[in-house]
Amino acid sequence: MNAATENLMPESKPKADASLIVRRTYPVPPARLLKAWSDPADLMKWFGPQGLDTPVAEIDFRVGGRYRFGMRPLPDGELIFVNGEYREIGPARIQFTWSFEKPGEARDTLVTIDFREVPGGSELVLMHELFATEKQRQGHQTGWTGILEKLAISLNQ
């Protein structure tokens, strides 16, 4: 367990099933994926699970900087906010905390995204860890899979 993980969950260690990994290959270089995650205007075009858009993206893209995204169920639902702090930023990796701004769900989890150059493009490997329950993990797996699909569509436009 690394220092960032220990700071998020000092009272107990995560269970083996408390994390998920989602992989996706894109026909673009890693630098283009990094831009998609770091530029608010770019991110608002694709971020959010299927059926949600993201009209709010505030990003201070630096280690120690914070982000805040407002996702909205379509066509005109109420905004759902998530926020966190960037822990690591590099050309091949972003790591940040993730927390819903919802009473009872304001518990930090940790997201690490690696960008790896592969023949014909890049592989994105997303690891999300420190879930309190298996149900949370499963919900995020569905959400992240949808988000990464929308990223693929956005990159092809």
Q: List, for residues 41-67, the tens digit of each pLDDT value.
A: 999 999 999 899 999 999 999 999 999
User: For residue 3, is pLDDT > 80?
Assistant: no
145 part of a folded domain: yes
What is the per-residue pLDDT for 106? Answer: 59
Query: Model-level pTM?
Result: 0.84
pLDDT band, very low/low/confident/very high, at 14 (cuts 50, 70, 90): very low
Q: In percent, how much of the chain has pLDDT > 90? A: 69
Q: Is residue 147 part of a domain?
A: yes
What CATH number corresponds to the domain at position 66? 3.30.530.20
Gyration radius of the chain over CA positions: 15
In this prediction, residue 19 carries a pLDDT of 87
Residue 10: inside a domain = no
Residue 7 lies in a domain: no
Is 21 domain-assigned? Answer: yes
Question: How many domains does the chain divide into?
Answer: 1
Please report whether residue 32 resides in a domain: yes
- Cα(43)–Cα(123) distance, rounded to whole angstroms? 18
> Would residue 62 count as lying in a domain?
yes
- With respect to residue 81, please indicate whether it lies within any of the assigned structural domains: yes
Kindly provide the residue ranges of all beta strands, DSSP E only, lying in 10-147, ordered along the sequence.
Answer: 19-26, 52-59, 66-73, 80-90, 93-100, 109-118, 121-129
Q: Which domain holds residue 75?
A: 16-155
